[in-house]
Structure 1
């Protein structure tokens, strides 16, 4: 029988060290919001494969759809012999996405690939080069997307010069001493001092920053960005790779705002665990690249597209948007109560939309000073107690909760009890 320790040794010998791990366990099987490692230990999953499993591990509807497609064919390349699942999924997302209609959708494989193609499309449409992103934002690990990502360590350090034409603005965070007015002032400075507005192809922003700490973009900032983009002919790209498909209590997080993006990227929970990503946007913008300028060998894989169609059915028929809001309310109420207890590590800035919940661990009650060491200890204690728990944030002191939206009330409560145990202060 293979054990965690055996696989850890083999992994060290065979896999590059640059791939990090949030836990020290190796998965053997999983079901909905539960996972068992190769040693047979059971865990409640509050990570969901980093927001990939909004419909849970191995949802029966998703599995059945994928299997049916596997029994027909698994690959032809959409550029060689196209197929209906790609077109059917594009049609549904064109109707559902909060972008100005008519819309079109391109399918790819990873979130980074979706972001790269959104930038390509924006540059083709505007005939401009420069891109504006935000500190704390995460858009991927490829050469271009790591340049867009607003954090040096570990995404840029030692990996060579960043791609040219990418500029960053400070994201408004009270704890960091930055408000919306500061961000917009820096945008105006940038457009006067470094780049002319008519050289900017797009501004890219996450409605809720993922790796940056589940920080919600203020509505007034999103509105102001839309106004600046309209004023200067700049495209607004919403990166919904982590926020999409019900996680925030809406199908897409941009539905929380009263403005629409020109382009939107998506991935993660789109296909319930199968690798699929996409870009959806205004049809005239999406049609800008020349024939052959978009695509990819595995982009829009038929099995993944079939799974994604089932995911959309599950979200609708099982009312997962309502489930996300109920789940988030339960999580916030429990954590708010914990934050008032003296035997719990100091907690600050509880926040979130729907089932995308986070809070910070700080060095003292009522303060903002981050405590990354205690945060790491909490995630380690959680694993020891049978809970998969992720941290994030620019100071590595944010705990984020990404439980599958299909989790039963009993499993959710069990997970929250394990979280409470992990947060209990140690002498």
Structure 2
């Protein structure tokens, strides 16, 4: 089926021959991209409905971001944090203002931002809250996906991500996602933070019950616990607001950001919090050679400026409504359920029809690229530059796949 579509299977075989098999990609070999569209090595075009797991919120090769990268490449790319470069202050200030926080700590990958958040929360717990040495605990949610480092997979409930990577890092308590009572009951005198995704992306774009996030904020405030929001996938315009937390008027103590912050050009992540939290760090206690490098800062500053206009948040809201209306029309016609917010959707396919993987293969045959997760679920996260016509095209191709 899918093999009939490929005219260059040797590229797939070469990739499998020379790389560890930690991914199972669709057999498509991409060579160029622009906006919402990808082109393979044979010239066939595909509508991108994954956007690099939200790393490409502004589309492929956004001209403003590409121009910033080109200009910086001609000047300076790396100094390390041993010195200050001329792009650093603007990036940190403008991102802090976007987040309504005092301070920013730049890193590279989303997992690094999560690890940074964990370290800062523990240090805050010992130095500010007065938790006994070595006893800090962080409450997390079932179905979470915060990255793949050893510490992070220690509190994953996904056996594919966790199994056979022990011994595991202690200091985490797992509670059901969306259950405020369970979360409150898990907090004790040694709890330093609650770490959650405002919307669980990898789990299938799971939106928590209304009132859950304000409840988390209230409980954390009452118990003197940090509320850490992992907005690495859900943030930066994806859901129709700058942050997914904004939909319920919630401001966490700490934002974890990544993916779209690098504009799909360079890996950029950051932790944003006030000085009473991030201020616990001192020189030598945390760092990164590449974190906050000039090239990353030049691109990410333009990302922040694009978000500051509000244009992409509006596009996500308006076009997301069109996407979800189209998808809901397929419930009962091959889809069991549709979830999400803005230009982000999780679709549960009737497992009697096909798996999520098979659906994605059939979509690829029709020129639409998406990603499956957890059996019969598909995630859609197109770039925010997608058009109404392109959304309608994606929905039509999905309808044709479901109709067989």
Task: Give me the TM-score of the superposition, normalised by structure 2.
Answer: 0.91
The whole-number CA distance in structure 2 between the counterparts of 1:4 and 1:161 is 42
Structure-2 change in CA distance of 1:230 and 1:189 (3 Å): closer
The whole-number CA distance in structure 2 between the counterparts of 1:189 and 1:286 is 27
Give the total of aligned pairs: 390
The whole-number CA distance in structure 2 between the counterparts of 1:311 and 1:3 is 37
1:236 maps onto 2:227 in alignment: yes
Alignment of 1:77-96 (within 5 A): 77=80, 79-96=81-98
Structure-2 change in CA distance of 1:186 and 1:92 (3 Å): same
Shift of 1:184: 3.3
1:223 maps onto 2:225 in alignment: no
Which residue of 2 is the match for residue 179 of structure 1? none
The 3-state SS of whatever aligns with 1:64 is helix
1:357 maps onto 2:375 in alignment: no
Which residue of 1 is the match for residue 323 of structure 2? 331
**Any unmatched runs of 5+ in structure 1?**
173-182, 192-196, 365-370
Structure-2 change in CA distance of 1:143 and 1:3 (3 Å): farther
1:33 maps onto 2:36 in alignment: yes
Task: Work out which of the residue numbers 309, 319, 322 in structure 1 matches 2:311.
Answer: 319
Which residue of 2 is the match for residue 147 of structure 1? 154
The whole-number CA distance in structure 2 between the counterparts of 1:349 and 1:16 is 35
Shift of 1:113: 0.2
The 3-state SS of whatever aligns with 2:211 is helix
The whole-number CA distance in structure 1 between the counterparts of 2:36 and 2:364 is 15
CA RMSD of aligned residues (A): 1.9
The whole-number CA distance in structure 1 between the counterparts of 2:294 and 2:396 is 40
Equivalent residues of 1:139, 1:148 under 8 A apart: no
Which residue of 2 is the match for residue 13 of structure 1? 17
Deviations 1:82-125 (A, max 9, x none): 11322211111211115xx4x20011000000000001111111
Equivalent residues of 2:98, 2:304 under 8 A apart: no
Structure-2 change in CA distance of 1:3 and 1:163 (3 Å): farther
Equivalent residues of 2:331, 2:338 under 8 A apart: no
Deviations 1:256-295 (A, max 9, x none): 1233211110001112112100000111100112222122
1:160 maps onto 2:166 in alignment: yes
**Any unmatched runs of 5+ in structure 2?**
1-5
The whole-number CA distance in structure 1 between the counterparts of 2:258 and 2:384 is 17
Alignment of 1:17-416 (within 5 A): 17=21, 19-77=22-80, 79-98=81-100, 101=101, 103-127=102-126, 128=131, 129-152=136-159, 154-172=160-178, 183-191=179-187, 197-273=188-264, 274-317=266-309, 319-340=311-332, 344-345=333-334, 347-363=335-351, 373-392=354-373, 395-416=374-395
Equivalent residues of 1:122, 1:202 under 8 A apart: yes
The whole-number CA distance in structure 2 between the counterparts of 1:414 and 1:299 is 39
Task: Give me the TM-score of the superposition, normalised by structure 1.
Answer: 0.87
Equivalent residues of 1:206, 1:239 under 8 A apart: yes
